[in-house]
Chain A
């Protein structure tokens, strides 16, 4: 068995720090690396990582390029982007670093984009100080600390007050692994100001035959009366592994809608945390993991109700085929005095193969009494009754199965409110189910 190696990261860390002397992120990285050394990689004994042996990814040496590289060009970006990208606010990240030259924008007011370093040094100093790295208070593990250690050319985005974005913001992550295994650490801070309205998309693509491990931290702050939709689409190659934290703080009464679609990839862990810091916040969280091959997807969610009268509804669905593993771990957390909370959580899984695995752990942790919280989860197979009904109408078994699986998945896909993106996901699913149109 290959041994787990992280010692060499010390060297890489020093390289990065000396290449970036004077950067505003210098101290943050130092702090991050100190934490990483203290915490180490999470093992299966860590309750939060019980079903995802992330340390397995560290049996190889990763390169962590500190400078821009030019392998990824416009042609590759155009070829691999999701349909409709050319009409979006298209932010391209190469190897975890924001690449302005490859990015393109449709509008030039209503929002501000700069590097995090610039934000700290310039007029967004206050935002950066107030909102940066707050996710580390919630996720205290070595993987999060590792992102902080190696974040570089990170991005700060501010959606201005009252701005209703008509084009989605598309975070297009491309990883170049043509010659080396790659560790990328994308880091994004988004501040959505009062009454603003925005849709965002993230996607991940590994270019090359070596392995990528992208370890992303995205922090989003949502202010009073703002509205956020966030779509995370994972359709990477099997050599693309990923850990992503999407840490959303609803600091004003606001509305958040997230959809996470996982179709292909290596070992994937998605942390989606919603922190309800103001009364009467509302959040809807959806996820679909439709997996085959050896793909491993762990969806780890938290709804932290810190104030009264919040509402959240969460539905994650999984279809597991071949040797794939699907994990769901969701927590509804109600703090003392956060009364009148309504929180619902549901996780439904279908295991198709006799070599797949489903592990699920829905949790309620409740410290206030006047609440209505519930969760349910199922692990099972297709409904025999439904299958029989379809067959009794002359539909053959395979088609009947596909129709039922499509219907099962559609409940989540329907939650994608960007038409082109929805069609793209639908096509991917229909193709896998061998369903025509």
Chain B
């Protein structure tokens, strides 16, 4: 309680506090998308021929596809020829342990965002890969991790140093033809993080990637690949911000996770892309495909997300439960305010025997926003004794917003048990009154109640992130009560 109060006290800015932009020289490709642009990206990254061919194949497939229309989202047609697909800050990437090589302007930016690259100064070990626009600008703790055989590096670096691993796994969880945005990403992805945990290794620190869009008119198309070998464990964090701009910017990322036998991967996201202004102008269009496969028996993949940013969110972190006894989890808090629209949820695809999945989704709608949960639980014929439990609750703050729940359950196995529950209600008058009677103003009371509403999900975040996320919820709620 004391922590929560303190967090609320800390709120100062009513504005999106990461909305500044950094004046840094950028190497950019011309606007538009065609095979030449893809060749250019591939050349800039010194990629092998097979990867260029792979990209071109994805592009040719994408050209034949149309944007998905089934989500409960409304937005104008996106002009894919009006986007810059490659933008790299003109700064040398620092070598491991040589942070003095990082452009001071960039360091200042990262400081402002609360990301410290200074390894010595950090008490808790969190290794960070920072991706700005199209490239990774710094990765920390690489040497320490390497001692344990863990590879943690930028995707572009992995292409050079670990081409075999990449070739073996890239696109195996999210095929390039999976959907419109996955195909687009496969064609033009620029950077992202690559992470490999060898057999039997528990990663000793949290790994994290920080994404930042800086350049105007550019899109961000990063790609993350995490491989956990037999018995490996890793907890992975992802954060993101973008400058405040009047135009909408496109973010179309892919995350792929492979968990082998007895491996466990925890993936947490605090998504705080610029949501647009009070009139609904600007903001990031966030179309993301995240999917993990529990390939080995007894493996586990857990997604936790706190979604507060973006003008439009379209994402469904999923788990394919292929290994027997494997476990998939999805914990989500999605808060929409202003004119934000979110259509988010998960897919749990049960294939192996005794597979378990759990879905907890908490949606909070305020302002003139629309917040939809969309989730699929699919039980294949082979999934003997599969179990799923889903709980999806929506909270409405105000009468101009919407809260929607669209679960899909498809079962072909007569030993499986699938349960879904959902409720939608407004914030309790009696709860509010109780808080107010104890001296809290309405805004604080709401923040407190919302924090409680989201607690089950927040509890799944690693400690460092949980505090950030709670603060973010409180800040995002400001001005939406009354």
Contacts and interface: CB of A to CB of B under 8 A. Distances in A.
26 contacts: A358-B410, A360-B409, A361-B408, A361-B409, A362-B405, A362-B422, A365-B72, A365-B402, A365-B404, A366-B396, A366-B402, A366-B404, A369-B398, A369-B426, A370-B426, A374-B422, A374-B423, A376-B419, A377-B409, A377-B420, A378-B417, A379-B379, A379-B416, A380-B416, A380-B418, A381-B414
Given A371-B396, A371-B424, A377-B409, 20 more contacts: A337-B399, A351-B411, A351-B412, A354-B413, A356-B412, A359-B409, A359-B411, A361-B409, A362-B407, A363-B407, A364-B404, A365-B404, A366-B403, A367-B402, A369-B401, A372-B425, A378-B417, A379-B411, A380-B418, A381-B417
Contacts of A353: 414
Contacts of B421: 374-376
A168 to B, nearest CB: 35
B397 interface: yes
A368 B70 CA distance: 22
A339 B399 contact: yes
A10 B143 CA distance: 74
A361 B405 contact: no
Given A369-B398, A380-B416, A375 B410 contact: no
B418 A379 contact: yes
A336 to B, nearest CB: 7
Nearest to A46: B70
B226 to A, nearest CB: 31
A380 to B, nearest CB: 4
A336 B410 contact: no
A47 interface: yes
B394 interface: yes
A298 B10 CA distance: 53
A407 B42 CA distance: 65
A363 B409 contact: no
Given A371-B424, A376-B422, A358 B397 contact: no
A284 B399 CA distance: 26
A369 B370 CA distance: 12
B98 interface: no
A371 B426 contact: yes
A164 B351 CA distance: 55
B458 to A, nearest CB: 23
A357 B379 CA distance: 10
Given A339-B399, A356-B414, A380-B416, A366 B424 contact: yes
Secondary structure of the B contact surface, majority rule = strand
B414 A368 contact: no
A22 to B, nearest CB: 43
Interface string B184-227: 00000000000000000000000000000000000000000000
Q: Which 7 A-B pairs have the closest CB atoms?
A: A369-B396, A380-B417, A379-B418, A351-B414, A369-B426, A364-B405, A374-B423
B465 interface: no
Given A370-B426, A378-B420, A381-B417, A357 B410 contact: yes
Contacts, number: 116
A122 B66 CA distance: 51
A99 B87 CA distance: 74
B400 interface: yes
A373 interface: yes
B397 A369 contact: yes
Contacts of A368: 396, 399
B415 interface: yes
B381 interface: yes
A378 B419 contact: yes
Contacts of B404: 363-366
Contacts of B423: 372-374
Contacts of B394: 364, 366
Q: Which of B401, B403, B424 has the most CB of A within 10 A?
A: B424
A394 to B, nearest CB: 26
A362 B424 CA distance: 13
Contacts of A361: 406-409
A88 interface: no
A366 B399 CA distance: 10
A354 B414 CA distance: 5
B406 A357 contact: no
A352 interface: yes
Given A354-B414, A356-B414, A366-B402, A379 B409 contact: yes
A357 B412 contact: yes
A363 B411 contact: no
Contacts of B400: 336
Given A357-B412, A379-B409, A362 B425 contact: no
Nearest to B372: A365
A364 B414 contact: no
B74 to A, nearest CB: 13
Interface in B405-455: 405-426
Interface in A145-203: none
Given A352-B414, A369-B398, A380-B419, A374 B409 contact: no
A374 B424 contact: yes
Interface in A206-261: none
A398 to B, nearest CB: 16
B420 A369 contact: no
B399 A363 contact: no
B408 A359 contact: yes
Contacts of B420: 362, 375-378
B413 A369 contact: no
A378 to B, nearest CB: 5
Contacts of A357: 410-412
